[in-house]
A and B are shown apart, each in its own frame.
Chain A
Amino acid sequence: MANLPPATFVIESEDFIIRPMLPGDASEKLGPWIEDENSAAMLNTHRRNWDIAQQAELFSRHEAEPRRRILGIFPKRAKDPIGLFIVKVTPKQGVFLLSHLIGDKDWRGKDTTFQTSEAVYDYFFNTLGYAKAKANVRPENKPMLWLIYTYVWRKEAHLIKHLRLADSGKRSDLLTFAILAEEWRNRADKFRSKPRNGEAAASGAPVGAAANAAGSR
């Protein structure tokens, strides 16, 4: 059995702080984050400009949900987040389900997903004792699939017409991917985040030109 994440915690990578979002983190800068389809689908909501009151309500609601946390990705020395992880945990079974969004377009394609994901996996596998990470991705979400297929995720299921989309009401397939803790610990060197000294960062970054990322519920 794994542990629930505590009420407050901080995960640190070389360039980012990752921590639970608070109502006070709501900001106009997050407004455009759910204007594209993949991003809106991640939160299973309609494409729109995300107003501050709705952000604050969402962050406030999840503060009280120990099994479903919204983690903001904050560049060190910056006030506003540039992306999110949504982590739904099942401690009894040692499984966590991860969704991810780089909302600020200026930070896409810059190694952000790779670097921050590594720190999140380390925290949930090694600090909290989870045995498996999962991600659900719509087949239409090509940027996220590119990220998934170039990392150590393995496809486990193709769920036929599993989702009813908030925008259209149409049903969509869903692909389920997973990483076992031992697979992650034994991953090849090219999949390990390294400090930016010399050529390390370039060889370790599978993000490349990938634009955006959004996942599951």
Chain B
Amino acid sequence: MPQITDVRTKRFRISPISPDKVSDAWIRWTSDPVLMAQMNARVIKVTRADLQRYVAAAWKTKRMILGIYTLTDGDHIGLYEAAIDPRNANVTFDTLVDQQKYILPNVLSETDPALLEFLGKQLRLEKAVAQIVETNAPLIRHYEGTGWVKEGVLRQEVEAVAGGRRLDMVQFGRLLDSNPAASAA
């Protein structure tokens, strides 16, 4: 797993989350029924130890867990999970923003470009991918409006956590500038 350093934008900081940095906010998000329904995730009672185990396991399997923090007061307001496919130099994102406090596109329109530039130029990754479940309308609208290519709709790709039906996933892709010289120019 490559070394990840902080990525800063005008208002936010994106930092790797190690097990000792699991926040109260993250624990709270897992019991937020609106947020979990949007992500097609079950609302379950999760402890800090559960999330710490999850984080430790993720980093061992080439999945980076990155937190989004405000620069002003250090509030933890979101997550990126970035799974790296080294063979194809692709990275696949799962993204969460605490929408009780922040408007999703306001955050991601600032953090996405900085993170994508970092992944391309520092880690030499060549393509970013996101598969968004149909229930996550805010995130789908964000990707549609910020230059990602909608590459298709994967029909009935996942089981819904409630209701016994299956849900579509919308597939997005974005080629990254992986030429480090470009950032120096």
A: residues with CB less than 8 A from B are 1, 44, 92-95, 131-132, 154-164, 171, 176, 178, 180
Interface window among B21-29, B52-60, B62-70, B83-91: B83-91
A157-B171 in contact given A131-B166, A163-B88, A164-B87 (Cβ < 8 Å): yes
Interface size band for B = 20 to 34
* CB contact list, B86-129 vs A, under 8 A: 87-90, 126-127, 129
- Report the bound CA distance from A78 to B90 in whole Å: 41
A156-B126 in contact given A44-B87, A163-B88 (Cβ < 8 Å): no
Tell me which residues across on chain B come within 8 A of A161, comparing CB atoms.
Answer: 126-127, 175
Interface window among B2-10, B135-143, B156-164: B156-164
Chain B minimum-CB-distance residue to A173? B151
Cβ contacts A to B, 7 pairs, < 8 Å = A44-B87, A92-B159, A132-B155, A154-B155, A157-B151, A160-B173, A162-B90
Tell me which residues across on chain B come within 8 A of A176, comparing CB atoms.
Answer: 152, 154, 171
Task: Judge if B34 is at the interface, Cβ distance under 8 Å.
Answer: no
Checking B88, B154, B156 against A157 with a beta-carbon cut-off of 8 angstroms, the contacting residue is B154
Say whether A157 contacts B153, CB under 8 Å: yes
Chain A minimum-CB-distance residue to B171? A157
Tell me which residues across on chain A come within 8 A of B155, comparing CB atoms.
Answer: 132, 154, 156, 178, 180
With A155-B152, A156-B155, A156-B171 known, 6 other A-B pairs at CB within 8 A are A131-B156, A131-B159, A157-B171, A161-B127, A176-B154, A180-B156
Task: Judge if B149 is at the interface, Cβ distance under 8 Å.
Answer: yes
- Report the bound CA distance from A180 to B171 in whole Å: 18
Checking A93, A158, A178 against B159 with a beta-carbon cut-off of 8 angstroms, the contacting residue is A93
- Report the bound CA distance from A158 to B150 in whole Å: 9
Say whether B87 contacts A94, CB under 8 Å: no
Tell me which residues across on chain A come within 8 A of B87, comparing CB atoms.
Answer: 44, 164
Say whether A160 contacts B151, CB under 8 Å: yes
Say whether B126 contacts A171, CB under 8 Å: yes
Chain B minimum-CB-distance residue to A93? B158
**B123 vs chain A, min Cβ distance (A):** 14
Say whether A94 contacts B175, CB under 8 Å: no
**B8 vs chain A, min Cβ distance (A):** 29
Tell me which residues across on chain A come within 8 A of B153, comparing CB atoms.
Answer: 156-157
- Report the bound CA distance from A162 to B155 in whole Å: 20
- Report the bound CA distance from A188 to B10 in whole Å: 58
Tell me which residues across on chain B come within 8 A of A155, comparing CB atoms.
Answer: 152
Checking B156, B159, B173 against A162 with a beta-carbon cut-off of 8 angstroms, the contacting residue is B173
Say whether A132 contacts B157, CB under 8 Å: yes
- Report the bound CA distance from A93 to B87 in whole Å: 24
- Report the bound CA distance from A188 to B90 in whole Å: 38
Say whether A94 contacts B159, CB under 8 Å: yes
Tell me which residues across on chain A come within 8 A of B175, comparing CB atoms.
Answer: 160-161
Tell me which residues across on chain A come within 8 A of B152, comparing CB atoms.
Answer: 155-159, 176
Chain A minimum-CB-distance residue to B86? A164
- Report the bound CA distance from A30 to B155 in whole Å: 36
Tell me which residues across on chain A come within 8 A of B127, comparing CB atoms.
Answer: 160-162, 171
Tell me which residues across on chain A come within 8 A of B159, comparing CB atoms.
Answer: 1, 92-94, 131
- Report the bound CA distance from A131 to B168 in whole Å: 13
- Report the bound CA distance from A132 to B167 in whole Å: 12
Say whether A164 contacts B126, CB under 8 Å: yes
